[in-house]
């Protein structure tokens, strides 16, 4: 569809409208310090891609060492001669790798790509705006996040290397400084500063998402007509706004404990490395409370955008309306609310009283209800549909699968008595990689295959895409499913090797997981090749290749600088008009004129 064909349903921009910013002309303004939400969205996705490659590489080193504890890891002795001389992984270096893997993946992949990346590119177009409400804040948001990443990665290059306190940076280990282990000096300080800076970037982003959704909607775009992905990003912004507002103070206090001699998280009389610490009266549990008050909602910051992406793609590939759209939104809002009442389930082992544990266990079980409702709505939408089985659709189906798999193990972990046994084991590693890591990644892949034509004006290769899906799906289950078994066997996590005889029995399974992880990583090369090849050589994309309804498909691929070519779209329909008889076929776009006005528009 061309811009002309939608002009019947849009109004001309009034002349002499005060403008906020004109199209940039210099390279720097156009591609680097851009105010354009579309460029910023791509920048976030690019950062996510760099981060995920880094994080995955770190996981390979860990996996290789777990499978072959007595062998030197190839190449690592050359890459990191200071920390892993001759390729030997010390227990401390293993923990440093684990800390950086978790931090990079959770913050710079699972938060930036599905929320800030796709949200930035798509949300303003889906609401019918020409940009975010505050483009300068938007640019700052990305560059602040980039600086945070740079500061974090800098920890690899300081004398003692990166921190080893895990992505959760539990105090007092993270608070007392150099004496508590390698990387706990400057490396840990850089970690705290990086995460603090990251919070500021995400707060600026959330502020923009909320203001844009509330105030910059096109005429006729009521809240009920918002596409489900926009709803999801909007809800995620609200979760993020509260979560990062708490993590930031926690980082400030931790930094002061490290550099200014305060004692927020360090108790009196603490002896570390045979030396009594010069602190008194702090509470390590306070850090855990503040961190997990952010940390659990963070799970939903990673996954709710995936909900939105799947709910936007599914009706388009199923060619039928999404089941229960209002229930879908209400369930996501319920998840957002409940996500602030469950943080204690990460702390069942912290000495919490059984009654407190029950208080956190019950909402944890309750939060599965809206999650199950959403899953059932997806299944109901898929059931009996004329599914167009393209790569985006496959990743949607894959998302449902891994989300259910990961969610089911959550039932067990939500009960304090069972969690006491499983918490320190690989069962938890399998659980959160499925429900948070892989599910969010499948959302990212689905979104990439779906919106790539809009972003770059070219189609991705479907054959490569389907191979990518098939191998990824197999790789994911082969890697993370056996971890549940290891956990049930009592295989503890966070250990760099398993010296006891009992644990030696699990070595073959660890080797299988390592081979699977390498296979899974290698499968992603197909995606990278497809991404680069399609960007330059892919067939030119039409404006609406998926015959979808939302506003981004009513403009050109890629959209012009102001998104709609100088016109303001007017919205007449919801995003769910599939399986109907419309002028274009079995769908009605949001900008299509209402039925009564159709003859006039045709005339």
Residues near another protein (CB under 8 A): 13, 17-23, 129-131, 133-135, 203, 206-207, 210-212, 214-216, 241-242, 244-246, 248-250, 252-253, 256, 260-264, 280-283, 286, 289-290, 293, 560-562, 565-566, 568
Q: Is the dihedral of CA 550, 555, 559, 565 positive or negative?
A: negative
**H runs (alpha helix) in 128-227:** 135-154, 186-215
Residue carrying structure tokens 């699972």: 110
User: What is the three-class DSSP state of 233?
Assistant: helix
Nearer to another protein, 135 or 482 (CB): 135
Of the pair 252, 376, the CB lying nearest another protein is at 252
Give whichever of 25 and 274 is closer to another protein, judged by the CB atom. 25
Structure tokens at 16: 């002499």
Q: How far is CA 298 from the centre of its chain?
A: 9
Taking the complex as a whole, the smallest distance from the CB of residue 326 to another protein amounts, in Å, to 24
Structure-token pair, residue 558: 């890629």
Cα–Cα distance measured from residue 173 to residue 426, given in angstroms and rounded to the nearest whole number:
22
Residue 121 dihedral angles phi and psi, to the nearest 5°: -70, -45
- Distance in Å, CB of 259 to another protein, minimum: 10
Query: DSSP secondary-structure letter at 459?
Result: P
Nearest distance from residue 272's CB to another protein, in Å? Answer: 18
Q: Which is nearer to another protein, 167 or 293 (CB)?
A: 293
In the complex, least distance from residue 23 CB atom to another protein, rounded to whole angstroms: 6
Q: Are strands 275-276 and 271-272 parallel, antiparallel or unpaired?
A: antiparallel
Contact 258, 188 (CB under 8 A): yes
Please tell me the distance from the alpha carbon of residue 67 to that of residue 84, in angstroms, as a whole number: 17
Smallest gap from residue 160 Cβ to another protein (A): 24
Q: Residue 378, Cα to own-chain centre: how many angstroms? A: 20
On whether the CB atoms of residues 591 and 552 are closer than 8 A, the answer is no
Cβ of residue 59: shortest distance to another protein, in angstroms? 32
DSSP-assigned states of every residue in 391-431: HHHHHHHHHHHHHHHHHHHHHHHTSHHHHHHHTTBHHHHHH
| Distance in Å, CB of 250 to another protein, minimum | 7
- Of 178 and 289, nearer to another protein (C-beta) is 289
Cis, bond preceding 172 (omega within 30 deg of 0): yes
Token pair, residue 509, equals 């399974």
Q: Which two tokens stand for residue 21?
A: 């910013």
Least separation in angstroms between CB 217 and another protein = 10
Q: Please report how close the Cβ of residue 572 comes to another protein at its closest, in angstroms.
A: 21
Q: By C-alpha distance, which of 535, 507, 536, 521 is closest to 478?
A: 521
If one counts every other C-beta atom within 10 angstroms of the C-beta of residue 457, the result is 17
**Least distance (Å) from another protein to the CB of residue 15?**
10
Burial of 211 (0-12, 13-18, 19+ CB in 10 A): middle
* Whole-number Cα distances in Å, 309 to 118, 121, 304, 580: 9, 13, 9, 22
- Nearest approach, Cβ of residue 376 and another protein (Å): 33
The count of other CB atoms within 10 Å of the CB of residue 72 is 16
Residue 102, token pair as written in the block = 């978790």
Shortest distance, position 243 Cβ to another protein, whole Å: 9
| Residue 22: count of CB within 10 angstroms of its CB | 9
Cα separation, 141 vs 152, whole angstroms: 17
CA distance 314 to 328: 13
Contact 67, 513 (CB under 8 A): yes
Of 505 and 566, which CB lies nearer to another protein in the complex structure?
Answer: 566
415-434 b/e with 16+ CB inside 10 Å = b? bbeebeebbbbbbbbbbbbb
As measured in angstroms, the least distance from the Cβ of 427 to another protein is 31
| Identity of the residue, 245 or 401, whose beta carbon is nearer to another protein in the bound complex | 245
Cβ closest to another protein, residue 283 vs residue 375:
283
Whichever of 246 and 342 has its CB closer to another protein, that residue is: 246
CB nearer another protein, residue 199 or residue 318:
199
Smaller CB separation from another protein, 190 or 246: 246
Query: Which is nearer to another protein, 17 or 602 (by Cβ)?
Result: 17
Parallel, antiparallel, or unpaired for β 567-569 and 10-12? Answer: antiparallel
As measured in angstroms, the least distance from the Cβ of 264 to another protein is: 7
Q: Whose Cβ is closer to another protein: residue 2's or residue 500's?
A: 2
- 99 or 138, CB closer to another protein? 138
Backbone φ and ψ of 113, nearest 5°: -70, -60
Distance CA 566, CA 11 (A): 9
């Amino acid at each position: 569809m061309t811009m002309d064909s939608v002009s019947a349903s849009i109004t001309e921009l009034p002349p002499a409208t005060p403008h906020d910013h004109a199209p940039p002309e210099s390279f720097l303004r156009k591609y680097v310090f851009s105010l354009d939400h579309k460029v910023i969205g791509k920048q976030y996705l690019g950062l996510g891609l760099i981060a995920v490659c880094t994080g995955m590489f770190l996981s390979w080193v860990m996996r290789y060492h777990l499978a072959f504890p007595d062998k030197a890891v190839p190449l690592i002795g050359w890459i990191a001669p200071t920390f892993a001389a001759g390729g030997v992984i010390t227990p401390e270096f293993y923990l440093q790798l684990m800390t950086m893997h978790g931090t990079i993946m959770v913050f710079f992949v699972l938060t930036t790509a599905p929320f800030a990346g796709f949200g930035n590119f798509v949300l303003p177009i889906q609401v019918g705006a020409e940009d975010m409400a505050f483009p300068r804040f938007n640019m700052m948001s990305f560059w602040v996040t980039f600086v945070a990443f740079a500061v974090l990665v800098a920890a690899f290059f300081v004398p003692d290397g990166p921190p080893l306190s895990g992505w959760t940076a539990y105090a007092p280990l993270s608070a007392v400084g150099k004496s508590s282990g390698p990387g706990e000096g400057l490396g840990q300080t850089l970690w705290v500063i990086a995460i603090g800076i990251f919070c500021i970037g995400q707060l600026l982003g959330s502020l923009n998402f909320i203001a844009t959704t509330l105030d910059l909607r096109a005429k006729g775009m009521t809240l009920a007509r918002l596409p489900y992905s926009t709803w999801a990003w909007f809800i995620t912004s609200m979760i993020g706004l509260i979560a990062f507002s708490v993590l930031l103070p926690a980082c400030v206090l931790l930094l002061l404990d490290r550099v200014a001699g305060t004692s927020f998280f360090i108790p009196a009389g603490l002896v570390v490395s045979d030396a009594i610490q010069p602190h008194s009266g702090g509470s390590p549990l306070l850090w855990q409370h503040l961190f997990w008050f952010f940390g659990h909602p963070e799970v939903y910051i990673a996954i709710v955008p995936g909900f939105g992406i799947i709910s936007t793609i599914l009706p388009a590939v199923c060619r039928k309306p999404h089941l229960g759209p209002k229930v879908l939104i209400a369930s996501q809002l319920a998840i957002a609310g409940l996500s602030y009442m469950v943080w204690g389930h990460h702390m069942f082992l912290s000495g919490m009283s059984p009654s407190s544990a029950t208080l956190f266990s019950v909402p944890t079980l309750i939060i599965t209800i809206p999650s199950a409702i959403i899953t059932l709505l997806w299944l109901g939408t898929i059931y009996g549909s004329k599914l167009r089985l393209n790569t985006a659709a496959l990743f949607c189906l894959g998302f449902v699968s891994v989300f259910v798999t990961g969610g089911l193990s959550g039932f067990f972990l939500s009960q304090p008595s069972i969690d006491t046994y499983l918490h320190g084991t690989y069962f938890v590693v399998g659980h959160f990689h499925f429900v948070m890591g892989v599910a969010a990644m499948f959302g990212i892949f689905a979104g990439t295959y779906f919106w790539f034509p809009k972003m770059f004006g070219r189609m991705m290769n479907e054959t490569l895409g389907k191979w990518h899906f098939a191998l990824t799906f197999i790789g994911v289950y082969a890697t993370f499913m056996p971890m549940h078994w290891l956990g049930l066997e009592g295989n503890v996590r966070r250990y760099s090797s398993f010296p006891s005889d009992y644990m030696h029995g699990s070595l073959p399974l660890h080797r299988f997981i390592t081979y699977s992880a390498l296979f899974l990583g290698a499968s992603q090369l197909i995606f990278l090749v497809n991404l680069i090849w399609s960007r330059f050589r892919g067939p030119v994309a039409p404006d609406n290749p998926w015959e979808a309804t939302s506003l981004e498909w009513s403009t050109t691929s890629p959209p012009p600088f102001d998104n709609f070519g100088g016109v303001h779209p007017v919205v007449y329909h919801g995003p769910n008009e599939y399986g109907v008889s419309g002028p274009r076929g079995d769908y009605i776009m949001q900008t299509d004129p209402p039925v009564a006005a159709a003859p006039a528009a045709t005339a």
